[in-house]
Amino acid sequence: MSMRADSRHKGFTLLELLVAMSIFALLAIMAYAGLDTVLDTRRILEQNMNRLSDIQKSVLFISRDLDQIVNRGIRDQYGDYQPALSASDLNVGLDAPVIEFTHTGYSNPLGVKRSHLQRVAYHLRNHVLYRDSWQVLDRAQDSRPYQARLCDKVESIGFRFMDEKGQWHTQWPPVTNANDIIPPSGKKKGIATASASLLPRAVEFSLKLSDWGIITRLLQLPGNAS
């Protein structure tokens, strides 16, 4: 009789089940909190990696284009001549090209009969940096650029240009005061613009980002040969 009574009382009591369920629930909450932290860390890491990729892409495009700059002016859609390199600090913050120039190295994987030169421009709109590129150099009125979005959260982009005398300018071609320059005629001139056929010796560009601060690069440009 005692053996049968002992076999009937084997098992868990209600209190033991409640304690076990409480411990299991506590472990589940801790595991979920840890998993949530891991997922948040992964999400933040992916965002930072994507952001870093966009910034690197922007710096790479600008650096590569400037490194392949050539002395070749163009005709715009209005038929007006534009120098090989045109940049103005007055366009910062406006939906207008901050810098526009001609570069070589225009890839042609299909072997299409066209120039290896390309006209590109960079501009800001709503704190987003864009790169414009044209399929032709001398544009018609219906020539439309291909616009590539590079990077957002850009507060400003600035360029500085070093001339052949080692002086820095915030626009190109630079405007110089020619009052001290006496031409062969013996008469002084007023304001004169430097020759648009010249390219700067070096270019410094800065990207001011709302989250990463200021990124600056200094590039030595190739020779002025066309």
Please report where in the chains the tokens 């957002």 appear, as a residue. 152
69 versus 36: the higher-pLDDT residue is 69
CATH topology of domain 52-220: Pili subunits (3.10.610)
Q: Where are the alpha helices (DSSP H) in 68-116?
A: none
Predicted local distance difference test score (pLDDT) of residue 88: 83
- If one compares 154 and 27, the residue with the highest pLDDT of the two is 154
Per DSSP, what are the bridge partners of residue 216? 206
- The pLDDT tens digits for 140-187 are 888 899 999 999 999 999 999 999 999 999 999 987 644 433 333 334
Tell me what pLDDT residue 27 has.
80
Structure tokens at 226: 């066309």
pLDDT for residue 2 is more than 70: no
Cα–Cα distance between 30 and 26 in angstroms, integer? 6
171: nearest Cα among 187, 160, 184: 160
Residue ranges of domains in the chain = 52-220
Tell me the pLDDT tens digit for each residue of 76-134. Answer: 888 899 999 999 876 565 567 899 999 997 777 666 677 789 999 999 999 999 999 99
Q: How far apart are CA 226 and CA 40, in angstroms?
A: 53
Render 28-47 in DSSP notation, one character per residue: HHHHHHHHHHHHHHHHHHHH
Tokens of 153: 């959260």
pTM, rounded to two decimals: 0.71
**Structure-derived torsion over alpha carbons of residues 176, 177, 182, 183, reported in degrees to the nearest 10:** 40
- Return the structure tokens found at 82: 């534009």
Q: Are 136 and 120 in contact (CB under 8 A)?
A: no
* Contact assessment for residue 143 and residue 154, using Cβ atoms and an 8 Å cutoff: no
Mean pLDDT of 52-59: 93
User: Which pLDDT does position 224 carry in this prediction?
Assistant: 47
